[in-house]
């Protein structure tokens, strides 16, 4: 079964500083995908970035990058030059590519408990 | 390109009543997912469809929960005989799946309060 662990329940960061949000995962599958989503207080889950398990390069999307360390089963999100609008809950999630073969069961995403990020001016 | 939409955004009901939520996915997407999110937790997967077919429903929380996607477009999630423990945010997501891992895009959610 898949598991996502986010060890930082909350973080306070000064505006314009870089932020690293931690995520570790567990799966028995060799092929899987890792995701980060942002959830503002409005409730909508906003897709930020994706990393495939066989991707050799770390994923980047604008100010977001994913620090993927496969051997450590780590997929940390890095936000450069934080902005006040970055204040939100951030969720790490994963899905096996072939859950029916890995015993992971369904094709839905497995989420962590999230990190509440607050950017201070 | 419009995103995923959900209706209603908020629902207040009394215990024992039935409720139905609607989700309209992004138009070219072939997969549609339902999740439940309780306070302080990440979303929990419930069920999903590929086109009209419901490929996974073992994660539905009880037999009071059911979902349909009759023409492969919009989907409905019904909860019968609601209980206070059903109070949560219900999220819908859609994706275009070809192989391996797809990226799911979420709607704004329906917040259910059971009194």
pLDDT tens digits, B42-89: 999 999 998 888 888 888 889 999 999 988 889 999 999 999 999 999
Residues 6+ apart with CB under 8 A from A77: A20, A21, A23, A36, A48, A49, A64, A65, A66, A67, A90, A92
Cα–Cα separations (whole angstroms), residue B45 to A21, A77, B14: 23, 22, 25
A31 vs B: CB within 8 A:
yes
pLDDT tens digits, A30-41: 889 999 999 999
pLDDT of A15 reads 97
Taking the C-alpha atoms of residue B47 and residue B33, their distance in angstroms, rounded to an integer, is 6
Cβ distance B100 to A35 less than 8 Å, yes or no, reads: no
Cβ distance B42 to A42 less than 8 Å, yes or no, reads: no
Number of inter-chain CB pairs under 8 A, A vs B: 73
What is the gyration radius of the CA atoms in chain A, in angstroms? 14
Query: What mean pLDDT do residues B97-103 have?
Result: 78
Taking the CA of residue B41 and the nearest CA in chain A, the distance in Å comes to 5
Report the residue of chain A nearest B10, measured CA to CA. A43
Q: What confidence tier does A101 reach under pLDDT thresholds 50, 70, 90?
A: low
């Amino acid at each position: 079964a898949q598991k996502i662990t986010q060890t930082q329940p909350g973080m306070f960061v000064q505006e314009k500083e870089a932020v690293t949000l931690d995520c570790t995962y567990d799966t028995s599958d060799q092929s899987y995908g890792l995701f980060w989503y942002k959830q503002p207080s409005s409730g909508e889950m906003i897709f930020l970035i994706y990393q495939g398990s066989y991707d050799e390069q770390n994923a980047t999307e604008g100010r977001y990058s994913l620090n993927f360390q496969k051997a450590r089963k780590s997929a940390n999100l890095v936000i450069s030059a934080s902005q006040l609008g970055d204040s939100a809950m951030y969720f790490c999630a994963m899905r096996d590519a072939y859950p029916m073969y890995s015993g992971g069961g369904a094709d839905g995403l497995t989420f962590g408990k999230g990190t509440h990020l607050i950017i201070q001016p | 390109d419009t995103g995923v939409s959900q209706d209603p955004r908020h629902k207040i009901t009394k215990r024992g009543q039935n409720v139905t939520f609607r989700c309209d996915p992004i138009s070219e997407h072939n997969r549609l997912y339902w999740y439940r999110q309780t306070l302080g937790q990440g979303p929990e997967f419930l069920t999903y469809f590929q086109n009209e077919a419901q490929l996974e429903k073992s994660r539905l929380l009880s037999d009071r929960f059911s979902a349909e996607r009759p023409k492969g477009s919009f989907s409905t999630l019904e909860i019968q005989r609601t209980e206070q423990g059903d109070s949560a945010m219900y999220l819908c997501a859609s994706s275009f799946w070809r192989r391996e891992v797809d990226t799911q895009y979420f709607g704004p959610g329906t917040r259910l309060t059971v009194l």
